[in-house]
Amino acid sequence: MSATGSGVKEMAEMLRSGAKMLSYNCPECGSPLFQLKSGEIWCAKCQRRVVIVAEGEDESAPARELLWEELERTLVEKLSAVNRLLSAAGEPERVRELAEVVSVLLSSLERLRRARKT
């Protein structure tokens, strides 16, 4: 499948921003993959990160890392949402409930970060 149509603008923008086009294609859509300055491999057409696994390499390690990143992102998003609710809360009971949720989310985030380091 060619990279014409959808994704071409994104590909051009990625090149302008310093990304490097790779000789690999996206396993989903067949479009060329790009390496961002951060080192991440990205499909401009699918708008998602791609992990390249070398032959013989443990395929579960990159998947685990992506899962950790997604979990961390979700916890931070939930903290942000609860923070908005907390700032608008007026009743002490509601503030207490939301503060408990913040505590659980922070604890989960801390445990996740500790587990990632091991």
| Candidate from 46-50, 61-65, 105-109 with smallest mean pLDDT | 61-65
In the chain, beta strands by DSSP E? 20-25, 32-35, 41-43, 48-50
Residue type present at position 105: L
Q: Is 47 left (phi over 0), alpha (psi -120 to 50) or beta?
A: left
| The predicted structure's pLDDT at residue 30 | 87
Read off the pTM: 0.50
pLDDT single digits (tens) 9-52: 888 888 999 999 988 888 888 888 998 888 888 888 888 888 77
> From CA 87, how far away is CA 26, in angstroms rounded?
43
